[in-house]
Amino acid sequence: MAEHSEESVLTEEIQQKPRGHDSSSSLSSDSDAEKPGPSPSAKVAPYRLFSRERPVHQVLGSGRIADVVLWRNKKISAGVLSGATAIWALFELVGYHLLTLICQGLMLSLLVLFLWSKAYTLINKSPPRIPEVNISEEQAIEVAFNMRNEMNRASAVLREIALGQDLKKFLAVIAVLWILSTVGSSVNFLTSVYTTFMTLLTVPVLYEKYEDKIDASAEKAMTAIKQQSAVFDAKVVSMIRRGPLKAKKH
């Protein structure tokens, strides 16, 4: 009897061992299932030109100017582009001067309004209502405040560059000024303004349309520029910084 009871106890222990193993494996699988894996939403943000985080329309102010620049209303944008082209053609092709164009435009407008109001009085009707244009004090103060901030910011940047605190920014400003001087020597001021205006009406809308492709190309270009900049820092900037130290030692 004692031997039979010992055998039964051994068989029960043998039967319980795989159950315990199964339960532990199930617990481990449950714990593995409960562990938070990498969420699909936590993806690396794509590279955006100028490190922007908002759409192009919001960057441009989300107003009427942004609608015109991005051709949200094609009629208005086409009208603005046609008007700018007509003004450029008058000055460059026809040979008009700015003061002559302004005076003749005002003369024509005043003549039309004068004859229009007189014609209405002759037929016993009220003259046309010409809206009054008044610039409020708040608008004038806001414009002056914004101009002051921009001028102070530009002055601070120029002072930082002049003091030699940022060599890269100094070289970039010199390069931009040299390009502008080269363009200005070959193209007159009006053509430069017209070219800038055409650029504002074409580049943003093309960038918004082909945003992904342009950002991918810009990322590759920025990577190459950073590599070249690191090489430039190691070879040139470090030598410039070591020069004053050697002079002090001697």
Burial-class residue 69 by CB neighbours within 10 Å (0-12, 13-18, 19+).
buried
Question: Is 215 within 8 Å of 208 (Cβ atoms)?
Answer: no
Closest CA to 70 of 161, 206, 183: 206
pTM (two decimals): 0.54
Burial-class residue 200 by CB neighbours within 10 Å (0-12, 13-18, 19+).
middle
Question: Is 146 within 8 Å of 161 (Cβ atoms)?
Answer: no
For residues 185 and 246, which has the higher predicted lDDT (pLDDT)?
185
Chain segment 138-177, per-residue pLDDT in tens? 888 988 998 999 899 888 888 888 887 777 788 888 888 8
Tokens 């590279």 sit at which residue?
47
Answer whether residue 75 shows pLDDT above 70. Answer: yes
Closest CA to 188 of 98, 92, 58: 92
Amino acid at 154: A
Distance between alpha carbon 34 and the CA centroid of its chain, in Å? 43
Burial-class residue 170 by CB neighbours within 10 Å (0-12, 13-18, 19+).
middle
Q: Please give the Cα distance from 65 to 77 (Å, whole number).
A: 10
Chain segment 116-141, per-residue pLDDT in tens? 888 877 777 777 777 777 888 888 89
Residues with Cβ within 8 Å of residue 184, at least 6 apart in sequence: 192
Q: Which helix (H) or strand (E) holds 9?
A: helix 2-34
pLDDT of residue 121: 76
Question: Is 66 within 8 Å of 57 (Cβ atoms)?
Answer: yes
